[in-house]
Every structure is written in C-alpha cells, then in structure tokens.
Amino acid sequence: DVKVTQSSRYLVKRTGEKVFLECVQDMDHENMFWYRQDPGLGLRLIYFSYDVKMKEKGDIPEGYSVSREKKERFSLILESASTNQTSMYLCASRQGNKNIQYFGAGTRLSVL
C-alpha cells in the first residue's frame, strides 16, 4: 500500500511564526502536491512538484513556499503565518505515469 505521511495531525502557531509542514511518501513517486481544504471550497492546490528540486505554483500560492530536496519529501512553508492560513492542509503523491493520487491524513493548522 502507498503510504503518505504528514508529520503532524494538529498544529497551533502564532501570527508571524515560520511554519513547516512535512510530507513523506514511501513509493518513489515523482509528483507531490500540497492542497488546503476550507469549508464550502473543497480542496485547492497550493503548490506541486513534478521532480526533485522542481516546483510549480498551484491556484493559491500566495503566502506559501515549498521545498523538495529529496524525492520522498515535500515541505510546505508558511514564511510568516497569518490567521487566514488557518486551515486543513493535505499532501498527496502520484507516480508520474499513473493517474491516481494518494493522500496523507492531513494537518489541521490553527494560527492565533
């Protein structure tokens, strides 16, 4: 089974803090994604990476950056957390020649 692991289930941070959300997949997938989920809006794509050190903006990249130094790990960075970044964050991975995406369990982030 594909396993996508997010480092934290729940996080509470203060406004202005730098926040790191970590995601690790164990299936050697090329593509990795970060989404955020808000009530009534479904999931929206923040950033994705199609290979090591490669990244592209998704639909809502403002206020976020990402890092992919190793194939199995994709990090989402909130440079200066703000209250409007309180949300559920979901990581996913996909093998390059396959269409199915596999999701982690999510991180609920609260920014106070």
Partner 1 sequence: GIQVEQSPPDLILQEGANSTLRCNFSDSVNNLQWFHQNPWGQLINLFYIPSGTKQNGRLSATTVATERYSLLYISSSQTTDSGVYFCAVDAGGTSYGKLTFGQGTILTVHP
Contact set for partner 1, span 70-89 (CB under 8 A): 88
Q: Which residues contact 36 (CB under 8 A, 6 or more apart)?
A: 43, 44, 46, 60, 87, 88, 89, 90
Q: Which is nearer to partner 1, 72 or 102 (CB)?
A: 102
Nearest distance from C-beta of residue 103 to partner 1, angstroms? 4
Residue whose structure tokens are 């997010």:
6
Name which of residues 22 to 51 contact partner 1 (CB under 8 A). Answer: 31, 33, 35, 40-45, 48, 50
User: CB-wise, 73 or 108, nearer to partner 1?
Assistant: 108
How far is it, in rounded angstroms, from Cα 69 to Cα 29? 14
What amino acid occupies position 53? K
Query: What residue ranges bind partner 1 (CB under 8 A)?
Result: 31, 33, 35, 40-45, 48, 50, 56, 58-59, 88, 90, 92, 94, 99-103, 105-106, 108
